[in-house]
Amino acid sequence: MEHILVSMDIRQVAEIPFSLFPQEHLEGFLGAVYRAIHLAERIRATVHILLVLTQKPPAHLVDKAADMERLAQKHLDLMVEKARASGVNVHFYMTAGNFETEVIRFVAEHKITMLILGSPNSGSGAAAEFQKTLSSIRQNIRCTIELVRRKEPLTTRR
């Protein structure tokens, strides 16, 4: 059976996490989840959604991390609910650590056959960092990688 992984890096600064889904990453991530679910419907695959906190939360913020996990599930609930109604197995995970390391580990442990990532638009500042991360992951896994990117807006005529 095919196993598809969709993953997102959730950055934190010191002890205060950023909003769960920064706008520049949100569209690509949700697009990747949408793509994974629709592909899984057609090929009868299992979808794994992995959110990676860059830093492990301090002990006094462990409850905050649990709240973040519930919030993430709430954001994705409608998509996951529809997928499960269509017969797609969807599993949700949250972990803390280095994004590249956690994705590589997850791919190996869960026998992932396809990794789908939301790619930032080429004009954004995150694009160069994303390419560096992608290159590192690509060197260490043996599965298909698919990138999903929001379409660039068409230029308007004057």
Q: Give the residues of the chain that fall short of pLDDT 50.
A: 12-21
Cα–Cα distance measured from residue 117 to residue 74, given in angstroms and rounded to the nearest whole number: 20
**What is the pTM for the complete model shown?**
0.79
Burial of 47 (0-12, 13-18, 19+ CB in 10 A): buried
3-148 CATH: 3.40.50.620
Task: Specify the pLDDT at position 16.
Answer: 42
